[in-house]
Amino acid sequence: MTWAVEEVRVVFFAMTTNIGQTLYISTARTGDRGASVDPMPSITRTFTTTAAPDAAHAYLADFRNAEAWDPGTRTCERTGGDGGVGTTYRNVSSFLGREVEVDYTTTELVAPTYVHLVGTNEQFEGHDVFEVRAAGAGSEITYTARMRFSGLAVLASPVVQAYLPVLARKTVDQLRSCLDELA
pLDDT digits (tens, 9 = 90+) for 27-67: 443 344 443 344 578 889 999 999 999 999 999 999 999 99
How confident is the model over 115-166, as pLDDT tens digits? 999 999 999 999 999 999 999 999 999 999 998 988 888 887 787 777 778 8
Residues 77, 93 contacting (CB under 8 angstroms): no
With CA atoms as reference, report the closest residue to 179 among 50, 33, 35, 23.
50
Split into its structural domains, the chain has a count of 1
What range does the domain containing 87 cover? 3-180
pLDDT of residue 43: 87
pLDDT-wise least confident of 6-10, 96-100, 127-131, 163-167: 6-10
Handedness of CA 130, 133, 136, 140 (dihedral sign): negative
Residues 117, 140 contacting (CB under 8 angstroms): no
The secondary structure of 139-152, three-state, reads EEEEEEEEEEECHH
Identify the CATH number of the domain in which residue 85 sits. 3.30.530.20
145: left (phi over 0), alpha (psi -120 to 50) or beta: beta
